[in-house]
Amino acid sequence: MNTTAKVAIGFGSIVGVIFTGDIVYTTHVKKEAWNCARSLAGTKGVINLGAGPDRVFPSQRIALSPEVVANVDIIPDGLPHYFRYDIENELPFADKQFSVSYASHILEHLGNWQLALEEACRVADFAVIVLPHPLSPWGKLSPAHKQHFSRSDIEQMGKNHNNVVVFY
């Protein structure tokens, strides 16, 4: 994969996405995304956006990974390298301070996801974004989701930012 190009990637097919397969599919996509983020981590490390206490086990492992130098969420948490910030506002980090911004299943929860994406791109060389699959019923039906991203929306993210890799 050419990570310096504008990229939007969907893994797998819609088979297994619907109903019970959605959890397995999401875990697989998240693992692929994290492997991508780790491969791009470089010397400046990863900022893990949306790292609050409502994590499933794989997300907990990511938050504790040695590549992660900053865990950010609006909800207080006892994670190492934890910073309490609202990612819908400007982040208090320097431009390109990190190698990678990693945001897994965060943008769909935000009213101002565009600013959060802009900030993720500003503070890191690359942004690795994980979104619910556009065909996932859970992505559409979750009351916690303020946004639903179509394939067109996801492709536009890759076109508008030359340092974004999107997994869904």
pLDDT digits (tens, 9 = 90+) for 100-118: 999 999 999 899 999 999 9
Mean pLDDT of 149-154: 88
pLDDT of residue 55: 66
Residue 31, C-beta contacts closer than 8 angstroms, at least 6 positions apart: 58
Mean pLDDT of 68-73: 94
Side-chain half-sphere CA neighbours of 84 within 13 A: 6
Average pLDDT, the chain: 81
Mean pLDDT of 144-160: 87
> Can you list the domains of the chain with their CATH numbers?
17-167 (3.40.50.150)
pLDDT of residue 138: 72
pLDDT for 27 beyond 80: no
